[in-house]
Amino acid sequence: MSWMSLHRRLERNAGLLIFGILLVSAVGGMVQLLPIVAGDSHPQPAEGLAPYSPLELEGRDIYIRESCSTCHTQQIRPLLAEVRRYGPYSRAEEFAYDRPFLWGSKRTGPDLHRVGGRYSDEWHRLHLLDPRSVVPASIMPAYPWFGRNAADGHGSIQARMRALARLGHPYTEQQIAEAPSALQGKTELDAVIAYLQSLGRSMDGKSEP
Amino acid sequence: MFAYFGTLRFGWRLGVEPVFLPEPTVRAICIAYFGALLTGFLSSAVVARWMAATYDASQSLGRCLALMAIVGAPLAVGSVVHLYPHAFLNVLVLVPVLIWSMFLLYRGLPIVLGTGPNRGMLMASALIAYLLVALVSLLGITVALWGSGIGPRIGA
Amino acid sequence: MTHYEDRVVTAFTYCSVLWALLGMAAGVYVAAELVWPTIDLGLPALSFGRLRTAHTTLVLFGFGVSALIATAFYSVQRTSHVRLFAPGLAWAVFYAWQGAIVLGAVSILSGWNAGKEYAELEWPFDLAITAAWVAFAVVFFGTIARRKIESIYISNWFYGALIIVVAMLHIVNSLALPVTLGKSYSLFAGAQDAVVQWWYGHNAVGFLLTGGFLGMLYYFLPKQAEQPIWSYRLSIVAFWAFVYTYIWAGPHHLHYHAVPEWLQSLGMVMSLILLAPSWATMINGIMTVSGAAKKLKADPALKFIVLALAFYGLATFEGPMLAIKSVNVFSHFTEWTIGHVHSGALGWNALITFGTYYFIVPRMAGAPLYSARLANIHFWLALAGTVLYVLSMWGAGLSQGVLWLSLDELGEVRFSFNDVMAAMQPYYLLRFLAGLAFLAGAVLMAWNLAMTFAGRRTVLVAPPAVAGAQARA
């Protein structure tokens, strides 16, 4: 059967057309996604990488809530200038516990992948509550409500950790049980700072670019 | 020409400290830029001539060149702003100039190439597709040049 | 005596225009926030991160999808010569979709966020829009199944591809484990998640913003030009090449990222190949309309659609160009990408939708367009706004790209991030003005279309009889 007559059949039969579109469009996804998503290709967590602590997890979920990825990336490219500016380039193993990934697609503000340990907690405190107090030309929004809101205001930290455990994050029962007390008396500001300080520590002390 | 002298004298002003480039690099960039502009001008006229049959327009290459000269005139005049290569200033000047050029294309094409108003509008839009593509190619070629070392010192 | 179900088309059109205005206003507001960051007034709902997400959600899924469903329903009936299948279900799609958009936008501003670009709505919305989408598919394909014409016209292939492929993309990318009503965690993590996300994200552009709107093009352009499509053969080849190739291009969003090298290269090569089917369609469109010019009257609707084709050409050329690694080194993460997005979103999607609305609204209202003059002013505002937007972002993006990578004589990074960021301010101001101009044009259009309808009811149109040769056996 020639291609044209095959097509003539497709365009006279809605069912065949639907099936044809599905088949043709699925190919690319299968070739590109299956190797990545199927077990073997997925990198093991980086050496020493632990899942986020309750406070860090709360901070990460706030980062997602506020859509910080809109302006900040977490992906240092293996380019000379980038490594000089931000630190060692990002390796896949470092993101094993990132659900969802937060690599971002735009740098209105700087990359944050290796921001952990770069600035003091106090600097972050001032910066998040009012960016212009430490960076006068900053265009970042201020987050005054971080200081006012208690961490885990919805009381869902245990449910969240259990869900992540189901997805393969190695939380122990004890860690989950102790989570609410770990957040006792903390604000959203504490949580976000804890998260930021945890970023990119896998390459601490290593000399590779 | 403007870009050549401006860059040597003032450097590229991208909003931070001026970036000065060695003269051989500036010369190479400006020659490439001139070549690109010339190619753009000539190829636009050739493309217009190629499209002319479809739109019942004049197929005279001379007329197409004349049209592109009219369209390009604001850009040529506006390029004097390259004498001070402040990126934002150049954008500020060249955007209205570009819009004026597009306006001249829509207005001028029916007259210069003798189409009716409707065919003229359609042909002008088709030409704009080509011109936009040519413009963005300029960007692509520019960064490709930079990447291969003809440009500022970078660490990629 | 049966007639087409066009009142649901009118309803979707109204809402589409409403979301265009709201979504673009949100866009203009966030553009202003980049210049004057304190205009968020310390309110979480106005904060840049949340408001920008509301902007993309409203314009893509409010304005864009409503326009696609409206025009899909309009054109599938007329190309099939039958009334819409299950009109009640079509109305259910309408209410479900608009409800999802309203509540969805509110949810984003309140802090529900799944954390993945153009898929930020949380799992209850994911389920709701899946259900609505299935209903959309049933109505659309049901109408095609009932058609009185033997062949399925090409615009329906594109709308069909939109429906099928977006469903596939959405379902896979949204896979998540719900924790609470407003929070879930992605099934995929880290680098895996990145690959899945950009398979989705790129093809949302490919099949929603490109494929679906090509369906619009293939119906409304020949309609306005009163000419058949220039080349039937070309449209077939272009369609299947398009559906096959687009899917592969996702990894060009991940150049120099922590994903396998082979994946990046594959994405780059396929993105370059994609230029062919994209341009084949553009050429088909341009040649179709050029054949008609003699009988055409000066028509604002046509001007919009034809200019949209030019920007389609630009965007589908620039995309593959940006997918080349040596260009991507400079453009990635910069304003250039934003410029590219908006050359497509404003120059192609918005412009062709505006042109289509200027065409169908007078027909559905049974009255001429209220003001051709206003439509012409809109045309120039839209053109100026788009050109200014794109050029200011090109200027900003190129500057960022080269300045971030610049080294000094000692081989150290030359410019601090903050200095480069501050240098972007003037471009952000220009972009804000561009958005304002574009929005102003859209407001004129809304006024024009509202005055055209002016309290009239949607005209009832009966499907014409089908000539023997084309009739379904």
Is the CB of B91 inside 8 Å of chain C's CB atoms?
yes
What local confidence, expressed as pLDDT, does residue A39 receive?
63
Work out the minimum CA distance from C115 to partner chain A, whole angstroms. Answer: 5
pLDDT tens-place string over residues C319-358: 999 999 999 999 999 999 999 999 999 999 999 999 999 9
Closest partner residue to C420 among B16, B117, B143, by Cβ? B16
Chain A residues in contact with B156 (beta carbon < 8 A): 79-81
Chain A / chain B CB contacts < 8 angstroms = 9
Mean pLDDT in chain A? Answer: 92
DSSP state of B55: T
For the segment A109-128, the average pLDDT, to the nearest whole number, is 97
d(CA A122, CA C9): 56
Can you read off the two tokens belonging to residue A65? 């809530």
What local confidence, expressed as pLDDT, does residue A169 receive?
93
What local confidence, expressed as pLDDT, does residue C296 receive?
61
Chain C residues in contact with B116 (beta carbon < 8 A): 293-294
Residue of A25, A31, A167 to mutate for C, most C C-beta atoms under 10 A:
A25
Residue of A2, A3, A72, A101 to mutate for C, most C C-beta atoms under 10 A:
A101
What local confidence, expressed as pLDDT, does residue B122 receive?
84
Chain C residues in contact with B82 (beta carbon < 8 A): none
d(CA C192, CA A50): 18
Chain B residues in contact with C291 (beta carbon < 8 A): 54
- C40 within 8 A of A141, measured Cβ to Cβ: yes
Nearest CA in chain A to C116: A100
Work out the minimum CA distance from A137 to partner chain B, whole angstroms. Answer: 13
pTM greater than the 0.90 cutoff = yes
**DSSP string for A102-118:** ---S--SS---TT-TTT
Work out the minimum CA distance from C210 to partner chain B, whole angstroms. Answer: 17
Kindly report the number of other CB atoms within 10 A of residue B9's CB atom: 11
What local confidence, expressed as pLDDT, does residue C298 receive?
64
With 0-12 CB in 10 A as exposed, 13-18 as middle and 19+ as buried, what is A44?
exposed
Q: Quick check: C253 and A105 CB within 8 A?
A: yes
What local confidence, expressed as pLDDT, does residue C186 receive?
95
Closest CA to B15 of B63, B70, B72, B85: B85
pLDDT tens-place string over residues A21-45: 999 999 988 998 888 877 655 568 8
Work out the minimum CA distance from C108 to partner chain B, whole angstroms. Answer: 35
- C421 within 8 A of C35, measured Cβ to Cβ: no
Chains touching B, CB cut-off 8 Å, 3+ pairs: A, C
Buried/exposed C45-64: b ≥16 CB within 10 Å, e otherwise: ebbbbbbbbbbbbbbbbbbb
Nearest CA in chain A to B156: A79
What local confidence, expressed as pLDDT, does residue B119 receive?
81
Is the CB of B69 inside 8 Å of chain C's CB atoms?
no
d(CA C396, CA C279): 28
User: Quick check: A10 pLDDT over 90?
Assistant: no
Banded model confidence at residue A206, pLDDT cuts 50, 70, 90: confident
d(CA C253, CA A6): 35
Closest CA to A54 of A194, A196, A199, A170: A194
Residues in chain B: 156
Tens of pLDDT along chain B (156 residues)? 888 888 888 888 888 888 888 999 999 999 999 999 899 999 999 999 988 888 888 888 999 999 999 999 999 999 999 999 999 999 999 999 999 999 999 999 999 998 888 888 888 988 998 999 998 998 998 998 898 888 888 888
Closest CA to B110 of B70, B78, B75: B70
User: Quick check: A125 pLDDT over 90?
Assistant: yes
Residue of B44, B47, B55, B95 to mutate for C, most C C-beta atoms under 10 A:
B95
The answer for residues whose C-beta is within 8 angstroms of residue C370's C-beta and 6 or more apart is C448, C449, C451, C452, C454
Tens of pLDDT along chain C (473 residues)? 689 999 999 999 999 999 999 999 999 999 999 999 999 999 999 999 999 999 999 999 999 999 999 999 999 999 999 999 999 999 999 999 999 999 999 999 999 999 999 999 999 999 999 999 999 999 999 999 999 999 999 999 999 999 999 999 999 999 999 999 999 999 999 999 999 999 999 999 999 999 999 999 999 999 888 888 999 889 999 999 999 999 999 999 999 999 999 999 999 999 999 999 999 999 998 888 877 766 666 688 888 998 999 999 999 999 999 999 999 999 999 999 999 999 999 999 999 999 999 999 999 999 999 999 999 999 999 999 999 999 999 999 999 999 999 998 888 999 999 999 999 999 999 999 999 999 999 999 999 999 999 888 889 999 988 877 778 76
Work out the minimum CA distance from A205 to partner chain B, whole angstroms. Answer: 24
